[in-house]
Amino acid sequence: MKLNQFAIQPTSFQQEFTELQRINFIQADFLNQKPAPALQWLLQKSFPELTTSQDQLHQLSTLMATSKQNALGYLQQGQVTATAFYNIFWQLLGFEAGQDFSLDDPLALGSQVHYPIFSQSNLDTKDLIHGWYQLLITHTVHGQTFLDELANRGYFQKMIQDPHTPRPLIFNGKAQPVYDTSKLIHEVVYVESSLDSDHDGQRDLLKTEIIRPQESNQQPVPALYTASPYNQGTNDKDGEALTHNVNVLLQAKSPSPNTVHSAPVKEAQIPQPRSIKGNSPKASASMGNYFSYSLNDYFLARGFAVVYAAGIGTKDSQGFRTCGDNQETASTTAIIEWLAGQRTAFSDQTQQLSITASWCNHQIAMTGRSYLGTLAIAAATTGVAGLKTIIAEAAISSWYDYYRENGLVVAPQGFPGEDADVLAMETFSRKKQAGDYHKIASTWQQHLQKIAQDQDRSTGNYNDFWEQRNYRHHLQKIKADIFLVHGLNDWNVKPKNAYKFWQALQKLPVISKLILHQGPHIYINNFRSLDFTDIINLWLTHELYDIDNQAQKILPKVIIQDNATAETWKTQNTWGDAHNQSQVFYFNENSLQKKPAPQDLAPQSYCDYLPADKFNYYTKNLNQWQQDLTQSNSDLATTRLLFKAAPQQKPLIIDGRPKVKLRIASDHPYGLLSCRLIDYGFFRRLEKLPQVLENQAFDLSWHYQKENLREYQLATDPTSFQLISLAHLNFQNRTGLTQVTTVVPGKFYDLTLLLQPTHYQLLPGHQLGLIIYATDMEMTIRGNQNISYQLDCAHSKFLVPLMS
């Protein structure tokens, strides 16, 4: 079991001594104590659920100090050895003597866990203070720091009741849970945006749900804001009905030197703001169950408010869903402007009584995954005042990179046929209120058809619609520090979204951090092997409370979960460094070689067509398709070329975007190219999803909400391959994303295709494999056309960026 911690603030003894007093763990005269009574005191304080000294001492007898003596007996003899200290240290962290470590050699466990290092064998009281401080900031086997665990057992209950407790209460640079989660305030306000996206002549009101500690009435707190278009419900059946057929033909596109016309967006006439008919000291509405992200919940006890808004076109708000345009962004930032004191909100939907976020210190962060993280990126690219940072997980940075690729319609994995119009419909939860929808149904249908037309599934071109949904075009406005999290196996929001945004950020005067994990499209805040919650606590305590905790220096620039070993997280300063050298592989018959093939090697061909029954079967059995595509002999063998490199002799670490340069021809006036990079080898790999280690074991504060504790384990059974990266391209877009050119049947063209960025460790014994094919059953349109392709291997190559 490895408990990796990246959010530990280095401390001097003086800081440790001061902070232990700050949380009432010790008194100012503690150094006067002899080691044994000092240790007894520290131990007794470590059972906050027990109020009698007798009961606490009894617990001391349940801990072994040496292989012969329990801690209670041990304390009678006066001295405290480092061995006894370590034994107690591990037991308090939940390790089991005799099973996880030996009482005679406790340090054998140490390499996997943070712990204080003592060179002396006998400890004095100063050592004990240092040791206990380090204990409190170390993770237990249940995935949180020991201090968090004490808090969850009631440690801070007295301080929570005490008005003199310093708030926020900082320990090791992180905010501690001294806000009362049993007295949270739940309220709803309606922010007036400067939008009229449903063209009803009124500015769109936006429902905003707030959960905040009551202590924020006395002292303003920062806000964690999550914009989730899903959180007022989704129209699943309507979305399904609108989902596009992907079994359609690839067709020739008209040549065009530039598919983006940049016609000026017609600025809509915005109605006047509503008149303000008075002020309301408090919100008139509350709410019941609400969408909740457990990372946000964790911060409520720590002195942060949490704000949710679903935005234009959602239930109890006004306006229309626009899926990624500047109106949606403005609907997202309107909430921030209100939190920062720069915009009007009303206390209910009708009375026009304004209400201020007087409980907010005007320092705001955005959080969330997928569409939620996307809106955080959208907001950050406006430079809106008050937004200090975003933590964007698995977020889209350009919608073209979500629904399209290189001139092709390319679906997020798992959602073939989804598109901007489908998502707009899916999230248009105003429809759930029949009385509301009745008024706007026909305008909405027109609006939806406009999206369907503008997104242009017929060509897959990068056009004005997508240009307006590319947040990376507004990078210069970014003022917020940026924290990105992305899964290296996320084929829904593909890694390119994070990579391109990240690369561009490095040129901006803001701080940026990145975590890359091995998951697909998931949250990672409840993993045991990574102190993600602490990392975000350190980050937000700095960003939103302006505490000088060195967060920007302490936190690594990039943290990457290793794909080859469990519970392993590495750090580096870049991702896809421009200085990375590429290893060049040349194509030969069925193989990737270090040397070029003979120039006269005949082209190899493959044909995209499958018999109808097989085609139908694969469209419904995508896992089997994936499996068969990678196997040497399968029903798909004639539809693709597969090139394997020799088994790897030493570890190969790929970092960045692999690049394929092909000389290729289609026998039609159009063609599509798909590539998959595969790790071949029969090995035990990480499981595809993290498993629950302990149900509901991850407390978000004392008797408040809970999370499951999860972890990626090595799968019990070996598998024969793993997808590393992929890419797709329309032959007609070979010269540039915004250029459409002609394809002459039979003519060879030189194509360059950048694969999705990755960071991947290929272990010895494994083989790199590259598959060249056309229709991607999971992602592209599926015409099942009789198109034959020829690859001139002698003039093709494959470049793999290696860690420098």
- Asked if 434 is part of the footprint of a second copy (rule: CB under 8 A), the reply reads yes
Candidates 51-59, 77-85, 195-203, 260-268: pick the segment binding a second copy (CB under 8 A): 51-59
How many residues of this chain bind a second copy (CB under 8 A)?
59
354 torsion bin: left (phi>0), alpha (psi -120 to 50), beta (else)? beta
Contact with a second copy (CB under 8 A) among 3, 26, 43, 72: 72
Which has the closest alpha carbon to 493: 371, 408, 376?
371
- Asked if 292 is part of the footprint of a second copy (rule: CB under 8 A), the reply reads yes
Q: How far apart are CA 615 and CA 783, in angstroms?
A: 10
163-192 binders of a second copy (CB under 8 A): 182-184, 186, 188
280 among known catalytic residues: no
- Asked if 702 is part of the footprint of a second copy (rule: CB under 8 A), the reply reads yes
Helical ranges in 93-226 per DSSP H: 125-136, 146-152, 157-161
- Asked if 665 is part of the footprint of a second copy (rule: CB under 8 A), the reply reads no
Q: How far is the CB of 539 from a second copy (least distance, A)?
A: 26
Candidates 63-71, 318-326, 653-661, 795-803: pick the segment binding a second copy (CB under 8 A): 63-71
Which of 292/739 has CB closer to a second copy? 292
Per-residue x/- track, 372-411, a second copy (CB under 8 A): ----------------------------------------
- Asked if 435 is part of the footprint of a second copy (rule: CB under 8 A), the reply reads yes
Query: Max Cα separation, the chain?
Result: 91
Please give the distance of CA 591 from its chain centroid, rounded to a whole number.
36
- Asked if 51 is part of the footprint of a second copy (rule: CB under 8 A), the reply reads yes
Sign (positive/negative) of CA torsion 708, 711, 715, 719?
positive
Count of other CB atoms within 10 angstroms of residue 38: 24
Candidates 116-124, 349-357, 470-478, 496-504: pick the segment binding a second copy (CB under 8 A): 349-357
The residue written with tokens 């004490």 in the block is 150
216 among known catalytic residues: no
Which has the closest alpha carbon to 136: 171, 86, 95, 96?
171
Contact 436, 319 (CB under 8 A): no
Which of 24/767 has CB closer to a second copy? 24
Candidates 107-115, 538-546, 678-686, 696-704: pick the segment binding a second copy (CB under 8 A): 696-704
Which has the closest alpha carbon to 5: 119, 150, 134?
134
Which has the closest alpha carbon to 38: 50, 46, 26?
26
Q: How far apart are CA 369 and CA 394, in angstroms?
A: 5
- Asked if 275 is part of the footprint of a second copy (rule: CB under 8 A), the reply reads no
- Asked if 62 is part of the footprint of a second copy (rule: CB under 8 A), the reply reads yes
583-622 binders of a second copy (CB under 8 A): none
Which of 702/789 has CB closer to a second copy? 702
Count of other CB atoms within 10 angstroms of residue 595: 8
Contact with a second copy (CB under 8 A) among 99, 111, 599, 633: 99
DSSP three-state, residue 117: coil
Q: How far apart are CA 419 and CA 427, in angstroms?
A: 12
Catalytic residue, chosen from 280, 317, 370, 429, is 370
Catalytic residue, chosen from 490, 531, 655, 679, is 490
Count of other CB atoms within 10 angstroms of residue 277: 11
Which of 50/607 has CB closer to a second copy? 50
Which of 226/574 has CB closer to a second copy? 226
Q: How far apart are CA 186 and CA 99, in angstroms?
A: 46
Contact with a second copy (CB under 8 A) among 119, 120, 350, 599: 350
Contact with a second copy (CB under 8 A) among 436, 562, 635, 667: 436
Sign (positive/negative) of CA torsion 691, 90, 48, 11?
negative
- Asked if 32 is part of the footprint of a second copy (rule: CB under 8 A), the reply reads no
Q: How far is the CB of 672 from a second copy (least distance, A)?
A: 29
- Asked if 445 is part of the footprint of a second copy (rule: CB under 8 A), the reply reads no
Q: How far is the CB of 351 from a second copy (least distance, A)?
A: 5
- Asked if 285 is part of the footprint of a second copy (rule: CB under 8 A), the reply reads yes
Contact with a second copy (CB under 8 A) among 27, 571, 696, 735: 696
79-98 binders of a second copy (CB under 8 A): 91, 96-98
Candidates 50-58, 117-125, 659-667, 678-686: pick the segment binding a second copy (CB under 8 A): 50-58
Which of 692/744 has CB closer to a second copy? 692
Q: What is the DSSP string of 81-92?
A: BHHHHHHHHHHH
Q: How far apart are CA 233 and CA 245, in angstroms?
A: 25
Contact with a second copy (CB under 8 A) among 81, 102, 284, 326: 284
Find the helix or strand (DSSP H, E) in which 233 lies. none
**Bridge partner residues of 572 (DSSP):** 558
370 among known catalytic residues: yes
Which of 194/294 has CB closer to a second copy? 294
- Asked if 161 is part of the footprint of a second copy (rule: CB under 8 A), the reply reads no
The CB-side HSE value for 55 (13 A sphere, CA atoms) comes to 8
Contact with a second copy (CB under 8 A) among 27, 61, 218, 631: 61
Reported in sequence order, the residue ranges of 608-649 that DSSP labels E, i.e. its strands, are: 640-644
**Residues 736-742: contacts with CB under 8 Å, at least 24 apart:** 737/406, 737/407, 737/462, 738/258, 738/259, 738/260, 738/461, 738/462, 739/256, 739/257, 739/258, 739/259, 740/253, 740/254, 740/255, 740/256, 740/259, 740/407, 740/459, 740/461, 741/255, 742/255, 742/669
Q: How far apart are CA 559 and CA 342, in angstroms?
A: 36
Candidates 305-313, 317-325, 432-440, 745-753: pick the segment binding a second copy (CB under 8 A): 432-440
Which of 289/446 has CB closer to a second copy? 289
- Asked if 274 is part of the footprint of a second copy (rule: CB under 8 A), the reply reads no
Q: How far is the CB of 100 from a second copy (least distance, A)?
A: 9
Contact with a second copy (CB under 8 A) among 1, 31, 50, 385: 50
What's the burial of 236, exposed, middle or buried (CB within 10 Å: 0-12/13-18/19+)? exposed
The residues binding a second copy (CB under 8 A) are 49-52, 54-55, 57-58, 60-64, 70-72, 91, 96-99, 103, 149, 152-154, 182-184, 186, 188, 237-238, 284-289, 292, 347-351, 431-436, 438, 696-697, 699, 702-703, 705-706
- Which residues are known catalytic residues? 370, 490, 521
